[in-house]
Amino acid sequence: MRALLFLAAVVVGASAAHAQTSVFYAERGYWLVTGGSKACRALNRPPADFNFAPFNPLEIVARPDNSIGAEVYFWPKAIDPARDYVLSLKFEPGDGLSLKAKSTMGDFMLASEPDQKLWRSFQDATGLTVGVDGEPSLKLYFGLDDMTWVLDRLQSCGGTLPKE
């Protein structure tokens, strides 16, 4: 009987360990880097500001396969969630990138497809202008202070993610 109870405890413990998600959290200046079970995210707004007004921030998303994407939050009702878009990213200094994007959260956020060029573009840039092709009123500028720290934290966080 004790052996069965011990075996059951081991199985439950192993299942709980397998179900455990990775947790990562780091803050510096206005940057917040967090990790969950599927991705690591660097948000350029302090949590209290973002919770009060969840629009106009930039979020950099790193996945377990080391791919990286950008998510941009516009004003509410700025986009049609049923439509596909193209984000135009102009790095300063640097080149521009055009990435396919779609809404993954409501009518105000666009998430780009991952692109490996983003690692270098973010690393070298001090500023970023984001526009949406065909939507001249949707244009935002982001300062990219502390990008070395942000990208280092994203890579550290990525190491805690379960491999797919």
**Segments forming the whole domain that contains residue 26:** 20-158
Tally of domains within the chain: 1
CATH of residue 146's domain is 2.60.40.1880
Query: What is the predicted pLDDT for the residue at 22?
Result: 57
Query: What is the predicted pLDDT for the residue at 21?
Result: 55
For residue 54, being part of any structural domain is answered with yes
For residue 24, being part of any structural domain is answered with yes
- Compute the distance between CA of residue 156 and CA of residue 17 in angstroms, rounded to an integer: 21
- Compute the distance between CA of residue 88 and CA of residue 76 in angstroms, rounded to an integer: 20
Cβ-in-10-Å burial (0-12, 13-18, 19+) of 72 comes to: buried
Residue 16 CB-half CA count within 13 A: 6
> To which residue do tokens 């950099």 refer?
60
Q: What is the pLDDT along the chain (164 residues), one digit of tens a residue?
A: 433 333 333 333 333 444 455 589 999 999 999 998 899 999 999 888 888 888 899 999 999 988 999 999 999 999 999 999 999 999 999 889 999 999 998 999 999 999 999 999 999 899 999 999 999 999 999 999 999 999 999 999 998 998 76
For residue 5, being part of any structural domain is answered with no
Q: Please give the model's pTM, rounded to 2 decimal places.
A: 0.84
DSSP 87: E
For residue 44, being part of any structural domain is answered with yes
Q: Could you tell me if 88 and 130 are in contact, meaning their C-beta atoms sit under 8 angstroms apart?
A: yes
